[in-house]
Structure formats: C-alpha cells, structure tokens
Amino acid sequence: MTPLWILLGIAAVAYFWYASIVTRRNKVQEALSDIDVQLTKRHDLIPNILKIAERFMEHEKSLMTDITALRNQAQAAGGAKDASGVDAQLKLESQLQMRMGQFFALAENYPQLKSDGPMMQAQASYNEVEEHIAAARRFYNAAVEQLNNAIQVFPGSAFAGMAGISAYPFYQADEGSKAPVDADAYLRKTA
C-alpha cells in the first residue's frame, strides 16, 4: 500500500506543477490580450492625429507615411499568441511608439498645430493610451517573469516541454529608445 500512496503523491505533485505552468501561460495570454486592447486604441487614434496634423505639417509627409505604414504592419501583427509572433509584434509596436515620439517632438515646431483644439485633445488621449500601454506592459512582463521562472528550472522545464509551452519575450524598449538623446543634434535639425 505504501508504494501506492507514494506514487499517488508524486502524481498529484506532478499534476499540480503542470497545472501551475499552464495557469501561468494563460496569465501571459491574458496580459497579451490586455496589451492588444490598448494597442488597438493606439492604432485607432493614430490616423486621426495624422489627419489633423496633415494641414499644418506639410513638410513632414515622409514621417507621416512611415508612421502609417508601421501602424498597418503593427495592426496586422496583432493578436499573436505564440512566443515568436509576440516578439515580432512587440518590436513593431516599439518602433511605432518611437516614431510617434519623433512626430510629437516635431509638432512642437508648428505653433498653430500645438494650439489647435482637436490636436490637443487627440494628444491628451494618445498620452492616456500610452500610460495604459505602459501599465499593460508591466503586467505582461510580470506574468512572463513568473512563467519563465517556472519553465526554465527543472522539473518545470520537463513539464513545459510536455505541454508545448516555451518562454515568452519581455516587452523591452528598443535600441533607439535606449540611446541617449542628443539635444544639440535635434536642435540643429529643427533650426
């Protein structure tokens, strides 16, 4: 009888271990869904912002075209649930965020645009969405940390292999965002 109880105990522990890994994977996917909700809001806002800015920023057409293209690519990559798809999506969204940052920095050179009511409102909404994206990103990173910790250490790695669960990438700032800002170069460019 004793060996039977031992076997049952091991099976129970193994089951709960497996279940906790699946639960953490689901948590990551929940966090990804939350990010997707916020990213959708961002994608919906960008065309409106560009439309308002078009009238004023005639010389920045190439930037706006880039942003539109990036936005479309990011939107198409949205909804990914596997690790590689998520990685590609996050990279595109980081690039889009960086380009929008450049856009708003350049918009400072157009006083009429800066004081335009609809533009101010759109920018406030965009900032709010960015804050929610930042919060959703922190949730995602926390969920990924817990999942990766569970599946990168034995015996979690064995159970993850059986369940077909792999590590997810963290949502990190891209290289462009990490580079220090050169104020002189910026001022020379806009002078």
Partner 1 sequence: MNPADNTGVFTEQADYEKGFGAYFAQKIAPLLGTLEADRLKFKQDFIVSAIFSGAAAALALAALWLIVPPGSMGSKDAEGRIKLSFFILFAATVLPTYFYHRYGEEAKGTLLPPMMSFFGGISFHPHMGINELTLRPFQIMPMHEIYHSEDYTNGTLDNLSLELGLIKLENRSKNSTYTVFRGIAVKFEVKKPFEGMTVLRHNQGMFGHALSSLFGNHGMERVQLEDPRFNASFEVSSTNQVEARYLLTTAFMERMMLLGALMHHWGDDPSTFNEQMALAAAFSNPCNVLASFYGRSLLLLIPYAGKFFEPGSLFTSATHLNEMRCVLYQIHLFRRIIEVLKLDQNIGM
Stretch that binds partner 1, among 30-38, 52-60, 87-95, 158-166 (CB under 8 A): 30-38
| CA torsion, ordered 23, 28, 33, 34, to nearest 10 deg | 110
18, 24, 38, 45: which one contacts partner 1 (CB under 8 A)?
38
Q: With respect to partner 1, which residue has the nearer C-beta, 44 or 182?
A: 44
The 8-class DSSP code of residue 60 comes to G
Mark 83-110 as b/e (b = at least 16 C-beta within 10 Å). eeebbebbbbbbbbbbbbeebeebbeeb
Residue 34 makes contact with partner 1 by CB under 8 A: yes
* CB of residue 132 to partner 1, shortest distance in Å: 6
The span from the CA of 38 to the CA of 134, in Å, is: 9
The contact mask relative to partner 1 for 140-169 (x = CB under 8 A, - = no) is: --x---x-----------------------
Q: How many CB atoms lie within 10 A of CB 155?
A: 11
Q: How far is CA 57 from the centre of its chain?
A: 28
Stretch that binds partner 1, among 39-47, 54-62, 98-106, 137-145 (CB under 8 A): 137-145
Residue 168 DSSP SS3:
coil
Residue 15 DSSP SS3:
helix
Residue 131 makes contact with partner 1 by CB under 8 A: yes
* CB of residue 72 to partner 1, shortest distance in Å: 25
Alpha helices in the chain (DSSP H): 2-54, 61-77, 83-107, 111-114, 117-151, 156-163, 175-178, 183-190
Q: With respect to partner 1, which residue has the nearer C-beta, 76 or 142?
A: 142
* CB of residue 34 to partner 1, shortest distance in Å: 5
Segment 55-114, which members bind partner 1 (CB under 8 A)?
none
Q: With respect to partner 1, which residue has the nearer C-beta, 61 or 138?
A: 138
* Contacting residues for 97 by C-beta, under 8 A, at least 6 apart: 130, 133, 177
Stretch that binds partner 1, among 13-21, 45-53, 66-74, 132-140 (CB under 8 A): 132-140
Which residues contact partner 1 by CB under 8 A? 31, 34, 38, 131-132, 134-136, 138-139, 142, 146
